[in-house]
Amino acid sequence: MTHLDKVRREVARYEHVLLRFDARESSTGTPELVIALKSPVAGVDEYAAPVHPRDVDHSQFEWTFQRFLYDCIHDYMAELFTRNPQQTGQLK
């Protein structure tokens, strides 16, 4: 089983109401996690994060992948802000 196959198998275990999860091979040949909205919104891109082969090979991959997935979801949601105090200089 390839690294990509192993990541795809793990991704298939997760379903979300708003998000679609997938895995693909990156331009460097390593697997990457892909997160996108199930219902596309204009101007919202998908989120892609590389999965390091040593992490895929780790004996606790299933658990570490869950943490990685949740961290990526958090990052993706944060990227969807259209305005926040840091961007607008409102933070004081």
Average pLDDT for 63-79 = 97
pLDDT tens digits for range 25-52: 999 999 999 999 999 999 999 999 999 9
Give the bridge partners for 36, in sequence order: 20
Buried b / exposed e across 2-30, counting CB within 10 Å, b at 16+? ebbebbbebbeeeeeeebebebeeeeeee
Could you tell me the two tokens for 84? 């926040």
